[in-house]
């Protein structure tokens, strides 16, 4: 059985990996899935920020509820 996840536990888990490389798999709607790699830059009370590797100036932000609802899947370390 899968462990029950709350927003607080997701935030704490992500917060421990600041500065590490991450891989994101985001649902773009209409059968589109975006896979990006970057560095977890900062964590805020409602969102977290990732600087993408493919473009030095581009950052993306996601909320912890995106991870909870599995709209965004995040894995730490390079694959």
Domains in the chain with CATH codes:
7-76 (2.30.30.100)
Does residue 1 carry a pLDDT above 50? no
Q: How far apart are CA 59 and CA 69, in angstroms?
A: 21
pLDDT surpasses 60 at 79: no
* Segment 20-69, tens digit of pLDDT: 999 999 988 888 999 989 999 999 999 999 999 876 679 999 999 999 99
The model carries a pTM of 0.83
Give me the pLDDT at residue 4, please.
67
Residue 34 CB burial class (10 angstroms; 0-12, 13-18, ≥19)? exposed
């Amino acid at each position: 059985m899968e462990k029950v996840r709350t927003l607080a536990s997701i935030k704490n888990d992500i917060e421990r990996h600041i500065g590490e490389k991450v891989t994101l798999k985001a649902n773009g709607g209409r059968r589109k899935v975006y896979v990006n790699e970057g560095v977890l830059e900062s964590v805020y009370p409602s969102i977290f920020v990732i600087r993408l590797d493919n473009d030095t100036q581009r950052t993306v932000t996601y909320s912890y509820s995106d991870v909870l609802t599995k709209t965004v899947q995040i894995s730490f370390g390079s694959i």
